[in-house]
Structure 1
């Protein structure tokens, strides 16, 4: 959980993405910037538009054929003791995506992609120097809530069931004690704070960076479009340019001061830009 503690080369091998993530997390963003955004999905600026995800195939199949030309078999004596040629190794199929993100192109539900891409467009106008790209926001969304519980929203991006982090009363080992800052208005707890929404903001942080992503006049942390733009605002704060890998890593560290967290977010971001999706076993555990 992000607690706010107060597009790449498609020819990259699958294992290289995570190798780079483990060695130098910031390098993953460099790969993400080379390719740019993936195929377009239905998206909104003022009001959401529903649509169907495009299927993406990571492998193409072909067959190999050999020809025998020239002399016929009758005119040539068959050589003796010729070893039988070995059959070519079978093509390895792409491993299945983790079950929790099996729907939608790249494993992201279409409404989430619309929200992330909408945030990129809005921030390109509002904070052009930040150079925000949607896959970085998607990396946060994947790690924080598995894309809003795998797209458990209505067509407008409103959560069907609110996303609420654990109560920060110190009962969880390693967690901070954070007293209530919003009277329970956003998190339903008037004694202690808890992170809210699919990109997990503390109420006080949400109040500072909140943005209306779908033009309905309300900044709601439980709305995908609002939370995506707010996430971008938070990552861009301080004049950061996230096309610079070091600044991108700095922005994600701000979200959660954990190297494992940063590696996970940047690995997913790179995967969404390249189509080489990391598996759970490839990623360091976030404590």
Structure 2
């Protein structure tokens, strides 16, 4: 099954007992806005997970703006919401899927494969006049046993090594890992930076803006379209994806996998972690 589901697919299964719907709406800079939107209206049966309180750990000197949550603590949070080992989860947001993709990645990182993203998000759901409610469901706690997939991520030391080896190899060499920067072009080039203390990108990284993997309606492009989008990358290469803080890289991970790349890993600390080390080099402009 694909990693995304359509609105009509979800509508047809809205009240299946093994299904858990998770509202992941969150607005950067307005940390209360997502929960307020959820409390006002949401898809029936949905529970809420907050990007910074639930889908991230505590911010420290290193690790980036949205470090990964502790696996055991996150598993306990899921279990409290009634999400168990056999649950099928559908996540949505209203931010082009970036927060839902974070939950999608996190659950797979904990070894849970039955997780999907709602194509188009909440606004598209509501535009179809599908049901919404302000009722918050009562959930029976479950049991969630994490099976952490450490191979899905890399740390800063690995990224330093890849950056040094990659240099200015253009086009990317299949013999070397490939760094992908998922941020908007202006941030990659170092022309603007509103979120982090330094502008630019990790030396050797190539820019593939995460939103370019989607259609205008918020759905993901087809496998064939994504293969064309990533056509200059070798499918046998190790792909390491980053963004500003490890959130918007997740839609790119999903898109790469949909395009047939099987060795895709996340640098969760991303740019905000990279620049927390003064010794790390910063590149600007085109590679």
Q: Normalising by the residue count of structure 2, what TM-score does the alignment of the two structures yield? A: 0.28
Determine which structure has more spread, i.e. the larger CA radius of gyration.
Answer: 1
| Highest RCO, 1 vs 2 (Cα 8 Å, sep ≥ 6) | 1
